Amino acid sequence: MYFRISNTATKEIMEETTNASFEYPNLYRPQIIINGLNEVTIPIITMEAQSEISFAIWGLLPEKYKEDWTVFQNISNTLNLHEAAMNSNLWYVDALKNRRSIVPVTGFFTSIIKNGASFPYYISLKSDKPFYLASIHNILEDGFITCSLLVGEPNVFIRNYQNTVDCMPILLSEDFKEDWLNKNTSLDRIKQILKTPTKEHLQANPIAKELFNKDISYDSLLLPYEYPHN
Q: Would you report the helix, strand and coil content of the chain in percent, each value rounded to 5?
A: 25, 35, 40
Whether 229 maps to a domain, the answer reads no
- Starting at the edge strand that comes first in sequence, how are the strands of the sheet with 31-35 ordered? 31-35, 4-7, 107-114, 117-125, 202-206
pLDDT of residue 217: 59
Residue 207 domain flag:
yes
Checking if the pLDDT of 212 tops 70, the result is no
Give me the number of domains the chain comprises: 1
Predicted confidence band of residue 219 (pLDDT cuts 50, 70, 90)? low
Residue 175 lies in a domain: yes
Q: Is 227 contained in some domain?
A: no
Q: For residue range 84-116, what is the model confidence (pLDDT) as tens digits?
A: 998 888 999 999 999 999 999 999 999 999 888
Whether residue 211 is predicted with pLDDT greater than 70 in this model: the reply is no
Q: Which domain holds residue 71?
A: 4-222
**Domain presence at residue 230:** no
Q: In the prediction, which pLDDT does 97 show?
A: 92
In the chain, the percentage of residues whose pLDDT exceeds 90 is 80
pLDDT over threshold 80, residue 139:
yes
Write the CB contacts of 25 (distance below 8 Å, at least 6 apart in sequence): 11
pLDDT for position 228? 67
DSSP H helices, 4-127, are 11-18, 69-75, 93-98
Q: Residue 84 is which amino acid?
A: A
Entry pTM:
0.94
Label residue 26 by pLDDT band (50, 70, 90).
very high
Return the exposure string of 200-215: e unless at least 16 CB atoms fall within 10 Å of the residue's CB, then b.
bebebebbbeebeeee
pLDDT tens digits, 33-89: 999 999 999 999 999 999 999 999 999 999 999 999 999 999 999 999 999 998 888
User: What average pLDDT score do residues 156-173 get?
Assistant: 94
Residue 132, in any domain of the structure: yes
Q: pLDDT band for position 230 (50/70/90)?
A: very low
Mean pLDDT of the chain: 91
Is there a domain that residue 131 lies in? Answer: yes
Q: Given pLDDT bands bounded at 50, 70 and 90, which one contains residue 1?
A: low
Residue 209 inside a domain? The answer is: yes
**Which of 113, 104, 83, 112 shows the shortest CA–CA distance to 95?**
83
Task: Give the pLDDT of residue 191.
Answer: 92
Burial 140-174 (b: 16+ CB within 10 A, else e): beeeebbbbbbbbebeebbeebbeeeebbbbbbee
**What CATH code is carried by the domain that includes residue 130?**
3.90.1680.10
